[in-house]
């Protein structure tokens, strides 16, 4: 039996969460679906403890704190979360509404669909090292959920992007020893981070080596050492108990690719007035959409959510007028927020 609501949001990342707020202010009820077992998307899955510096009004906030604050902000609107579920199919009903199905057999019927699916179900790229699967989750990790777990470890980090550099800087004070390896002496990361990393190397606090990881040695998932292949093709033995490869993420868009949304390079093209896809009633906001000038920033997604909500209102309440109001001065908005 399908449940009915005003809007279904696919993806409970920061942008899906803020969409609940903007839709809620307009009295639209929402259900969210996310394959992850908790809200926050990339913020909680990839960098819960890392500080974000470009959220307006919050000079510094970690990925987890931002998620917690968004959850608190949307509390008054009582959104229903379907976590640990993949949105698998979308069907247009004869009455013009949409039915979204999940792999847990949840069915939600709504006037509008908001795809806030970010990079899709993101999967880290596994380095091509024989037998690495045996160590995953025990000595080999593709994300840092809790920095404390790495205290006192002998850590090897591989990669040349922001994640590799950021985790090198963040874990250096906690680790017993830390070595960064990259196949060349050049990085795709923020220059400031690269400079900071080089300073730590100069101070003898960490090591950097131009090399790639050729083999892992250990038993029962417990890593003891690796063989490094140096730039000059010589091999070296490095003792370590923790290996963090940061070779980027593979975007696995999954079933959204089958939603008939005319994807362009795995992104959903939208207009910049309503952030609606070419299929009326289906909106796309946050990292999943594309339009001229798109910036994959959280603040851009927040703006997109606000404009999307105005358009979704007219679909869900075709006979009602929408009056623009400020939260500071509207007693009706304040009542909805539970502050009046
Ligand atoms: C290391 C790092 C640092 C960053 N730093 C900053 C920064 O400083 N400032 C900034 O503005 N941005 C930053 N970003 C980018 C920012 O995290 C993204 O722009 C933001 O997370 C996008 O939010 P979103 O809600 O659109 O998507 P996401 O956060 O990707 O969330 C999408 C959600 O949709 C779910 N999903 C996808 N497909 C399905 C499906 N079929 N069924 C169910 N669920 C599905 C996923 O599981 C996910 O939870 C950073 C990103 C990274 C990786």
pLDDT > 90: percent of the chain: 83
234: CB partners within 8 A, 6+ apart = none
The CA 294 to ligand 1 mean position distance, Å, reads 15
Give the pLDDT of residue 256.
87
Question: Residue 122: what pLDDT?
Answer: 63
pLDDT at 252 over 80: no
- The C-alpha atoms of residue 98 and residue 323 are separated, in whole angstroms, by 26
Confidence of residue 146 (pLDDT cuts 50, 70, 90): confident
Domains present along the chain, CATH in parentheses: 3-123+250-336 (3.50.50.60), 126-247 (3.50.50.60)
pLDDT tens-digit series, residues 295-313: 999 999 999 999 999 999 9
| Bridge partners (DSSP) listed for residue 226 | 216, 238
- Which residue's alpha carbon is nearest to atom 30 within ligand 1? 118
* Average pLDDT, rounded, for the chain: 94
Per-residue confidence (pLDDT) for residue 123, from 0 to 100: 67
C-alpha distances in Å from residue 126, one per residue of 132, 140, 143, 158 = 8, 10, 12, 12
Non-local CB neighbours of 242 within 8 Å, separated by 6+ positions: 139, 140, 141, 150, 153, 154, 155, 156, 223
162-176 exposure pattern, b = at least 16 Cβ within 10 A, e = fewer: bbbbbbbbbbbeebe
Residue bearing the CA closest to ligand 1, atom 7 = 52
For residue 30, the cross-strand partners are: 7
Q: How far does the centroid of ligand 1 lie from the alpha carbon of residue 202, in Å?
A: 35
Non-local (6+) Cβ contacts of 148 within 8 A are 174
pLDDT at 340 over 90: no
Atom of ligand 1 nearest to the CA of 63: 17
Average pLDDT score over residue span 148-174: 96
Residue from 123, 243, 233 nearest 181 by CA: 243
Task: Note whether 169 and 180 are within 8 A (CB).
Answer: no
pLDDT digits (tens, 9 = 90+) for 178-197: 999 999 999 988 899 999 99
Under 8 Å between Cβ of 110 and 6: yes
pLDDT, one tens digit per residue, over 5-61 is 999 999 999 999 999 999 999 999 999 999 887 899 999 888 888 999 999 999 999
- Rounded to whole angstroms, how far apart are CA atoms 286 and 294? 10
111-121: average pLDDT: 93
List the end-to-end C-alpha distance of the chain, in Å, as a whole number. Answer: 37
Closest CA to 117 of 89, 144, 96, 86: 86
Read off the pTM. 0.74
- Ligand 1 pocket, Cβ-based, cut-off 6 angstroms: 10-16, 33-36, 41-43, 46-47, 52, 54, 86-87, 116-121, 162-163, 254-256, 286-288, 296-299, 301
Q: Are strands 242-245 and 268-269 parallel, antiparallel or unpaired?
A: unpaired
How many residues are recorded in the chain? Answer: 340
Question: What is the pLDDT at residue 292?
Answer: 97
Q: Given CA atoms 53, 57, 61, 67 in this order, what sign does their dihedral have?
A: negative
């Amino acid at each position: 039996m399908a449940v009915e609501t005003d809007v279904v949001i696919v993806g409970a990342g920061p942008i899906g969460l803020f969409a609940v707020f903007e839709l809620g202010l307009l009295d639209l009820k929402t259900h969210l679906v996310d394959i992850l077992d908790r809200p926050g998307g990339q913020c909680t899955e990839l960098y819960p403890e890392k500080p974000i510096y470009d959220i307006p009004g919050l000079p510094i906030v970690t990925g987890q704190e931002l998620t917690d604050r968004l959850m608190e902000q949307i509390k008054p609107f009582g959104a229903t979360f379907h976590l640990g579920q993949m949105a698998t199919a979308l069907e247009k009903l004869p009455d013009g509404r949409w039915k979204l199905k999940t792999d847990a057999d949840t069915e939600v019927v709504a006037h509008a669909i908001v795809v806030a699916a970010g990079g899709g179900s993101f999967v880290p790229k596994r380095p091509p090292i024989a037998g690495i699967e045996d160590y995953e989750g025990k000595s080999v990790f593709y994300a840092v959920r809790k920095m404390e777990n790495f205290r006192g470890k002998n850590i090897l980090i591989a990669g040349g992007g922001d994640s590799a550099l950021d985790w090198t800087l963040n874990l250096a004070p906690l680790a017993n020893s830390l070595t960064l390896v990259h196949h060349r002496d050049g990085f795709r990361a923020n220059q400031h981070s690269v400079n900071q990393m080089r300073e730590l190397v100069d101070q003898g606090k960490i090591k950097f080596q131009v090399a790639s990881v050729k083999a892992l040695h250990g038993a029962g998932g417990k890593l003891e050492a690796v063989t490094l292949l140096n730039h000059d093709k010589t091999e070296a033995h490095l003792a370590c108990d923790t290996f963090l490869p940061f070779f980027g993420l593979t975007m696995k868009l999954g079933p959204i690719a089958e939603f008939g949304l005319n994807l362009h390079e795995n992104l959903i093209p939208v207009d910049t007035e309503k952030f609606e896809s070419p299929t009326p009633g289906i909106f796309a906001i946050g990292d999943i959409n594309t339009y001229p000038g798109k910036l994959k920033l959280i603040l851009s997604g927040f703006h997109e959510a606000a404009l999307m909500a105005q358009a979704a209102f007219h679909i869900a309440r075709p006979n009602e007028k929408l009056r623009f109001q400020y939260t500071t001065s509207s007693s009706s908005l304040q009542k909805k927020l539970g502050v009046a």
